[in-house]
Amino acid sequence: MAGRVYLVGAGPGDPELLTVKAYKLIKNADVILYDRLINPEILEIAKPDCKLVYVGKEDGKHLKTQEEINNLLLFYAKQYETVVRLKGGDPFVFGRGGEEAIFLKKHKIPFEIVPGITSAVSVPAYAGIPITHRGLASSFAVITGHETPEKAKSSINWESLKDIDTLVFLMCVNNRKYIAKKLIEIGRNPKEPVAFIHRGTTSSQSVVETTLEKIVASNLSIKPPSVMVVGKVVRLRNLIDWFKPEVLLKLQEEIA
């Protein structure tokens, strides 16, 4: 009799941003297969005899391929009652959770999806950047920043990003110049504000503010993992009085 696999989103980093369900599953899991971006404090929630299996990935350093991770899920599900596949953010936002769900379904392994708070929204929020804002930004898109310039055919519909108010790129640090160039090429303002938020929601969070043209022209010191936010909303960051109607009205007029 196979156990059950839980594809769990661990949120953006702060352990207090775990969902109640995720917390309970981590606490009671027999096995946890976890990614590189999982905060070590979250793993401390696990019971002492829980088997912790690191399956992290980073550019050029894949400890395990996706196929190997899939097979590990199958292996442990046949031996243990509760297997948690722990992913940063949400498992279905560039987390390859869909691929793992299809694999488990194919092999008749019971599984459950446990959504997490995606870093695409929560990390900018913790940095004081609302990705939508009345009168300023009514649309946003979340885009992979992992695609390299060498790729023969882009999977990103770049033209569609021209008129979206706020763009959020994940896994983008190494390709930030390529991204900035592409956005300028499709017609976005070279002076459009950009923020890179490093290790958002954690005690080591830091923010670098810049513009598209400056990203292209200089070698800014940006460390992974960082979320890249492009749009006028970046200018709302750290404005202590931005929530006051009279100040907000003036600011919106300036930005527009």
Mode of pairing for the β-strands spanning 4-9 and 111-114: parallel
Catalytic positions are 35, 57, 171
Instruction: Determine the angle formed by the axes of helices 97-106 and 66-77, rounding to 10 degrees.
Output: 50
- The Cα 22–Cα 27 span in angstroms is 9
Mode of pairing for the β-strands spanning 140-144 and 111-114: unpaired
Tell me how far CA of residue 9 lies from CA of 22, 26, 27, 153, 239, in angstroms.
7, 11, 14, 30, 31
Using DSSP's 3-state secondary structure scheme, residue 43 falls into helix
